[in-house]
Chains A and B, each alone.
Chain A
Amino acid sequence: MTLEEMVEIAHPQQPHCPTILLLDISGSMTIGDKISQLNSGIKAFKEEIETDDLARKRVDIAVITFGKKVEVVSDFTSVEDFNPPELVADGLTPMGDAIKKSLEILESRKEEYKKEGIDYYRPWIFLITDGEPTDMEEGDEKWEEVISAIHTGEKDGKFLFFGVGVDSADMETLKKISPPGRTPIKLKENHFKEMFMWLSKSQAKVSASNMGEQVILDDPLGMNGWGEIPTI
């Protein structure tokens, strides 16, 4: 018997790559039909990730929306089991509570991973908004709490936070919310699909990375990219 035949190996669970889509579905998302572009973007994201053997098994996706209320539309699930929701736009922009919710479900997800002995990659929180928070204002208590949670969380390596502004989004405010050093990106008009393609490609790269490997993402701002950084 060869050594290869003699030994058995552990069949570990795939390492997981948690991602939260934090989506603004306030009433204004109906303008210019942004909401249906968002809906088809999410579907395209799922389809694209499913074409990648590793990412399909490793990416865990959760969707939180904020509009009429803050809702965990889809808690963490593998991409295979993920059913893209049909989101309906309505209400205000309770972004502060939505961010708090996202950090909450992220922490409990990490606890589950640890309990199950599942390795994981640094989580991504991907915020998409076309407005500004209506449940907090610069300087108030919630604002301070939320901003500090994002900034220290990113600094301590708890997650990567990406802010994306759509259409008439208040980029100035989004910049203050986003971690220093990660400027929010302004989505080019009608580029939802391109953005989600980039996201799926990036997640595929991250989920295929080995120990100590640096992942180089495609530049979202290039000629064929989906975004731009406003210079206001």
Chain B
Amino acid sequence: MEESQNYQILIFGAKTTGPSHIKKGLPCQDAWLSEVFADDSAVIAVADGLGSAEYSEQGAEIAVAAAVSSIKEHYSAVYEDGSRSKDLTKNDAMIREAFFSAVIEIEKYSGLKNIPKKELACTLIVILIDKNTVSVGQVGDGAVAGELLNGDIQILSRPAESEYVNEVTPITAENLPIKISLNANLKDIVNLAAFTDGCQRAVLIKKDGEYRPFIPFFKPLFKYSDSADDILAASEDVKSLLLSQKMTEVSDDDKTLVIATIKKGR
């Protein structure tokens, strides 16, 4: 049975400060965090602090930390009868909760430090890998692309619709529940890559108004991740890629790229 198989999950990635941020003396406003719970499940959170928000790099850090710890609780909580919280909670519900936790933590911090909530505004992508399924929630821009078992490369989560290139809705905006775009329990995914908008124009193309993954980017990237075994070295390679002229000439914004490889059995 598939459920009883072991999955090994490898996660690596990097974030880099965009040339335009360096020029303006701004910090990198992207943040990411991941955790592999057992061999067969993991969470990844990626956030991009808005350029218009003064302390958005702090908002982004708070958001990813809160999202990861919210999901982690479900995996560590064991009830008296021995059942685990995560077995009683649907994957999409866990993702939604991760978003609410992120906003609650941002609100708490906003109150504590007396910083208006909007100055902590950021986007957020939360990915939950649970055995052989992947669930993704997203508010704002950036995206997640994935490779299926049959080699197809698809978008698992796309940038939120926004007519203009420099406008985006953050998680701190009103009506969060309706803004979360959710794709739960996607099957047969062997590789995935989550990235912020600084990478978007280099790795996605738009055709007939629809975003599509740029295959000559993802195919080699996933081939690389298939054979990667040293997370630190692989993360360094991602960092070099993000800092390369190839990437910076398309966008001078901060860039984050996180890759997860899900290997079946051993």
Binding site for B on A (CB under 8 A): 2-4, 6-12, 15, 114-115, 117-122, 157, 206, 208-215
Contact = CB atoms under 8 A, between A and B. Distances in A.
Interface of B: 18, 20, 48, 50-53, 121, 123, 140-141, 163-168, 170, 197-198, 201-209, 214, 216-217, 220-221, 223-224, 237-238, 240-241, 244, 246-247, 250-253
Chain A CB count within 10 A is highest, among B163, B224, B251, for B163
A157 B167 CA distance: 11
Nearest to B223: A6
State the main secondary structure of chain A at its contact with B: loop
B179 to A, nearest CB: 14
A122 B167 contact: yes
Given A211-B197, A212-B166, A213-B51, A3 B217 contact: no
Contact of A122 (B18, B164, B204): B164
Nearest to B211: A117
Chain B CB count within 10 A is highest, among A10, A119, A210, for A210
Contacts of B48: 211-212
A9 B217 CA distance: 6
A12 B221 contact: no
A121 B201 CA distance: 15
Contacts of B201: 10, 12, 119
30 contacts: A3-B220, A3-B221, A3-B224, A3-B238, A3-B241, A6-B224, A7-B220, A10-B202, A10-B205, A10-B217, A10-B250, A12-B201, A114-B209, A117-B205, A118-B206, A119-B206, A120-B164, A121-B166, A122-B167, A157-B167, A208-B20, A209-B51, A210-B198, A210-B251, A211-B168, A212-B48, A212-B52, A212-B123, A213-B52, A214-B51
Contacts of B206: 12, 117-119
A3 B50 contact: no
Contacts of A120: 163-165
B250 A11 contact: yes
A227 B165 CA distance: 29
Contacts of A121: 164-166
Contacts of A8: 214, 216-217, 220
B165 A119 contact: yes
Contact of A7 (B123, B241, B250): B241
B131 to A, nearest CB: 28
Contacts of B197: 210-211
B237 A2 contact: yes
Nearest to A15: B165
Given A117-B207, A212-B51, A9 B214 contact: yes
A210 B166 contact: yes
Question: Closest 7 A-B residue pairs measured CB to CB?
Answer: A213-B51, A214-B52, A117-B206, A212-B50, A8-B216, A119-B165, A6-B220
Chain B CB count within 10 A is highest, among A4, A10, A215, for A10
A6 B205 contact: no
Nearest to A215: B166
A35 B70 CA distance: 65
Nearest to B245: A4
Given A8-B217, A117-B205, 4 more contacts: A9-B217, A15-B165, A209-B166, A215-B166
A211 B165 contact: yes
A7 B221 contact: yes
Contacts of A3: 220-221, 224, 237-238, 240-241
Contacts of B167: 122, 157, 211-212
A122 B252 CA distance: 20
A7 B215 CA distance: 9
Contact of A4 (B53, B208, B240): B240
B16 to A, nearest CB: 13
Nearest to B240: A4
B217 A211 contact: no
Contacts of B250: 9-12
B124 to A, nearest CB: 13
A206 B238 CA distance: 30
A3 B12 CA distance: 13
A12 B205 contact: yes
A9 B141 contact: no
Chain B CB count within 10 A is highest, among A2, A15, A213, for A213
Contacts of A15: 165
